[in-house]
Structure 1
């Protein structure tokens, strides 16, 4: 069923493939941020190449016996990948010494792939026509004050929640920030003994995430419900065998995925003053 991955015909043992899969999955769970709050749609299978990116409310028309959806946008589902090498001498030495093979190269490749996915979710891929949470036209925008002192962060986030509610996006709200703003949220509120992040944490019922792919000073508040946005997954993250060159093994970690922001007004982006 997965012959396209080239694993069955590869010279690598089943045990090594098992350990490779474990290393990649462990790394993905540690690194991926967007999948912690975005609903997943799929996996739909590796053969899915295009997907609609419009809102669930759409028009259908029948003319001359043909029914169609005018102006409905479709986007190609991109393939994301990262290559790695396993050196044959390393594998032979590990087997001879009865030790597990060092899979650091697989973990590094998986880390790069996961960052690529997160970057696509937040910033899109302009050359492919893929919009991200920060770049899709129609997102709400609010001025961001000083989040390092006083109640600036709490006041801004309350304003963001209010703005989303006014647009009818009244379900659970999620805050995603760059690492520098995440640190700033840990200042002590004068006279309360509480950190600012504790108040925000309570307001959002714990839905606060920091994303290392975000540029410094970046923050966004969103209503991450499947009717508003999701991450479409065709082929979930897997490792394929590509070739053997000079006895060394060339592998590729890959996936197919597409962020779909069906209602851009379910996102509020904070802009520094």
Structure 2
């Protein structure tokens, strides 16, 4: 497919992509503790999972082998930039407004994390928080500082008993994460989140999920087709049109390396 000729300085597009990548890194969490493979290219449509299925046919002695795969979704978000503002930037040195790029990148990154944690049943994709056969802990009330530690220790023990001995990362919904910025004991300078980092040495992160999830890196691999990119698509009479896009999927390798946590209250 031919790439449209840029009707403006290509340095602007390079700058936009750098800004989008920097903004996405602030939001994305799963890439910080799960292994990443790729990019394999835009044409990476499906990823292999598990072993091939094999079936012998008694009637004619032939054997059929089918490779099991999962689809690799492409995520994209369209946005525009005013032709007049680009001209004002190039001709008069006025600053460019990158707010639409920022919003588009935020929505794309939020969708990536949603796919990784929640999956998408319509696409046949499981997430860290939804995959079958994972460990699960019905936790206590996390308003109690000591209860938080007891529950995280219990989740670690579940993974340990499943022969996943760490290191671990923990991801929490915003209210639970924010609640960790309390002093562990009265008069102490140690925050509760710092206390828990001794158990979760791959980090503690905030994401738009329900409850929490503790995971070892053996849980899954992020397979990237096209990594995050900003592309110019076409001009119209008043705007330049762009997309920010990527293709990525989570391949679950070991459900038992995951423990979801549901605190009370």
Per the normalisation by structure 2, the TM-score is 0.90
| In the alignment, structure 1 residue 75 sits paired with structure 2 residue 67 | no
Q: What corresponds to 2:151 in structure 1?
A: 156
Aligned mates of 2:187, 2:156 — CA distance in 1 = 23
Q: What corresponds to 2:226 in structure 1?
A: 235
CA contact (8 A) 1:147 1:185 kept: no
Deviates more, 1:175-184 or 1:94-103: 94-103
* Compared CA separation, residues 32 and 150, structure 1 to 2 (3 A): closer
| In the alignment, structure 1 residue 267 sits paired with structure 2 residue 258 | yes
1:220 to 209, 213, 231: 213
Unaligned runs of 5+ in 1: none
The 5 A counterparts of 1:50-61 are 50-54=46-50, 58=51, 61=54
Q: What corresponds to 1:245 in structure 2?
A: 236
Compute the RMSD of aligned alpha carbons.
2.0
C-alpha distance after superposition, 1:130-173 (max 9, x if no partner):
11111111111101112222311111111111100111111311
Q: Secondary structure at the match of 1:89?
A: helix
Unaligned runs of 5+ in 2: none
Q: What corresponds to 1:181 in structure 2?
A: 176
Deviates more, 1:179-188 or 1:112-121: 179-188
Q: What corresponds to 2:106 in structure 1?
A: 111
* Compared CA separation, residues 259 and 189, structure 1 to 2 (3 A): same
Aligned mates of 2:54, 2:121 — CA distance in 1 = 31
Aligned mates of 1:250, 1:118 — CA distance in 2 = 25
Q: Secondary structure at the match of 1:105?
A: helix
| In the alignment, structure 1 residue 200 sits paired with structure 2 residue 193 | no
Residue correspondences, number: 259
